[in-house]
Structure 1
């Protein structure tokens, strides 16, 4: 259970500044079905995070406690680099004519493949006795953020102070990643 809360917080903060809620808002506006689009986004993210949790379960027995902490430090530093990098608009998937469920399911799965949320899920899954709690916490946060984006729509979502949030989140995770990495390497 101790993996659910940190995975929830990390996924929530990561998703707020990510491109997938933005794409969710775009597709919810296009199709006029925010709950369907948000559910498809949840399934898309859930599939990628399930792979990460499974990977965490498989590699956890071979990692030392310091290696597990170093993996978390890397996840934090990669999150910082992603947050401090300029947010590029997602492809609007205008040529996709798969409907209100399949378009967001496939589009968001492709967009989110290998994203920071999955790296956090992996890092928390290796540290927990049950990696599925990390998956559950991440998916709950993903649902909240993407449902909010779908209900708000693109115009309202774009009016949020995402840039300032990303900078603050990036600096915070950079500091946390450096401290965690230094502790894992026994520098401090």
Structure 2
């Protein structure tokens, strides 16, 4: 259970400044079906996070405690780098004629594959006796953010201070990553 809360918090903060909810807001506006789009996005990102949790379950037992801590430090530093990088608009998928559910499912899956949320799920799942709690925590956060984006729509979503949030989140996450990494390397 101890992996669920940190995975939830990390995924929630990461997703707020990510491109996936932006795409969800775009697709919810286009199709006028916010719940369908949000559910498809949850399944898409849930699949990616499930892959990360399986990876954590497989490699967790062979990693030392310091290696697990270093993996978390890398996840934090990569999240910081991603947050401090300029946010590029997602492809609007205008040429996709697959309907609201399938377009959101495949579009969000492709966009989110290998994103920071999945790296956090991996990092938290290797540290936990039951890695599935990291998956549950991350998916709960993904659902909350994507549902909010779908219900708000693109115009309202883009009016949020996402840029400022990303800068603050990136700086704090970078600091945390350096501290956790230094502790993993026994420098502090």
TM-score over 0.5 (shorter chain): yes
CA offset at residue 52 of structure 1? 0.1
Q: Which 5+ residue runs of structure 2 have no aligned equivalent?
A: none
Q: What is the distance in 2 between the residues matched to 1:142 and 1:62?
A: 29
Q: Deviations over 1:30-59 (max 9, x none)?
A: 000000000000000000000000000000
Return 5+ residue gaps in structure 1 as ranges: none
Per the TM alignment, residue 134 of structure 1 is displaced from its structure 2 partner at its CA by: 0.1
Question: 1:118: how far off?
Answer: 0.1
Q: TM-score, normalised by structure 2?
A: 1.00
**Displacement after TM superposition at 1:178 (Å):** 0.1
Aligned match of 1:161: 161
* RMSD, aligned α-carbons: 0.2
Per the TM alignment, residue 143 of structure 1 is displaced from its structure 2 partner at its CA by 0.1
**Structure 1 segment 167-182 matched on structure 2, within 5 A:** 167-182=167-182
| Corresponding residue of 1:49 | 49
Q: Which runs of 4+ in 1 moved over 6 A?
A: none
CA distance in 2, matches of 1:114, 1:77: 15
1:58 aligns with 2:58: yes
Give the TM-score of the pair, scaled to structure 1. Answer: 1.00
Query: How many angstroms does 1:147 deviate by?
Result: 0.1
